[in-house]
């Protein structure tokens, strides 16, 4: 069975071919590039005021952060609550963005698994993110560009304005540094005075 992404790739290729066959290849190509550029632009209305999410949306966005964290170094709920509240209170447009993304995550989770994102298992949440976004490595910019064409603007915003900053925040914390075998961020004093003389063992 053809999947959604293969279908989209085939459809976009057909559109491009039809444009060329009809003598409108340049116009068709320009339209495709314009559509891709629009999709690749994250959705952020900076005219929207900040504020606090309601508890359900706060829990949904926090569950996203929990899903991104390594399974052996998951921060407490308060870690993500504090981060999300800081973003929505102090960054224009982020309150509206987080509300939209929470709705997207819940709608997709319900469609796939019959439960909200928060109530889904970790594996189910992973499948929600795979449904919305493509998987690629740091050395694969082509797939990231392709994703921008194939996904909605709100999905693009999910990755660039939410997931990427959340991952940076996590790996700058003591939880993220525990994943790579450190007990604290570089430049921050270790909790025990003899920590620097001990082997660096992953916890």
Per residue in 91-143, pLDDT (tens digit) is 999 999 999 999 999 999 999 999 999 999 999 999 999 888 866 455 555 55
In this structure, is residue 92 part of a structural domain? yes
In this structure, is residue 190 part of a structural domain? no
Q: By the 8 A CB rule, do 76 and 95 touch?
A: no
Provide the domain limits for residue 65.
45-177
Q: Which residue has the tokens 């570089």?
A: 186
pTM beyond 0.95, yes or no? no
In this structure, is residue 192 part of a structural domain? no
Give the C-alpha separation, 152 to 140, whole Å. 20
Q: How far is CA 34 from CA 11, 12, 22, 28, 151, in A?
A: 16, 13, 19, 10, 14
Q: By the 8 A CB rule, do 54 and 98 touch?
A: no
Q: How many domains is the chain built from? A: 1
In this structure, is residue 185 part of a structural domain? no
Model pLDDT for residues 122-136, shown as the tens digit of each residue: 999 999 998 888 664
In this structure, is residue 127 part of a structural domain? yes
Encoding tokens for residue 192?
């025990």
Q: How far is CA 134 from CA 5, 44, 112, in A?
A: 9, 21, 17
Residue 74 per-residue DSSP state? P
The pLDDT, as a whole number, for residue 152 is 75
Model pLDDT for residues 31-61, shown as the tens digit of each residue: 555 555 555 566 788 888 899 999 999 999 9
Give the C-alpha separation, 68 to 164, whole Å. 10
In this structure, is residue 106 part of a structural domain? yes
Model pLDDT for residues 54-83, shown as the tens digit of each residue: 999 999 999 999 999 999 999 999 999 999
The pLDDT, as a whole number, for residue 122 is 95
In this structure, is residue 191 part of a structural domain? no
Give the C-alpha separation, 64 to 166, whole Å. 9
In this structure, is residue 34 part of a structural domain? no
């Amino acid at each position: 069975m053809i999947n959604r992404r293969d279908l989209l790739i085939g459809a976009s290729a057909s559109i491009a071919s039809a444009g060329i066959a009809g003598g409108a290849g340049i116009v068709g190509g320009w339209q495709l590039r314009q559509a891709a550029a629009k999709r690749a632009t994250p959705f952020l209305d900076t005219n929207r005021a900040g504020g606090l999410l309601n508890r359900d949306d706060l829990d949904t966005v926090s569950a996203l952060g929990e899903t991104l964290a390594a399974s052996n170094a998951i921060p407490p709920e308060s870690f993500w609550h504090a981060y999300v509240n800081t973003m929505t209170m102090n960054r224009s447009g982020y309150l509206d963005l987080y509300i939209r993304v929470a709705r997207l995550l819940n709608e997709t989770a319900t469609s796939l698994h019959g439960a909200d994102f928060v109530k889904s298992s970790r594996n189910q949440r992973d499948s929600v993110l795979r449904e919305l976004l493509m998987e690629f490595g740091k050395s694969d910019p082509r797939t990231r560009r392709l994703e921008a064409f194939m996904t909605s603007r709100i999905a693009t915003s999910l990755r660039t304005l939410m997931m990427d900053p959340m991952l940076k925040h996590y790996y700058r914390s003591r939880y993220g540094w525990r994943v790579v075998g450190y007990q604290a961020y570089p430049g921050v004093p270790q909790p025990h005075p003899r920590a620097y003389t001990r082997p660096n063992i992953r916890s």
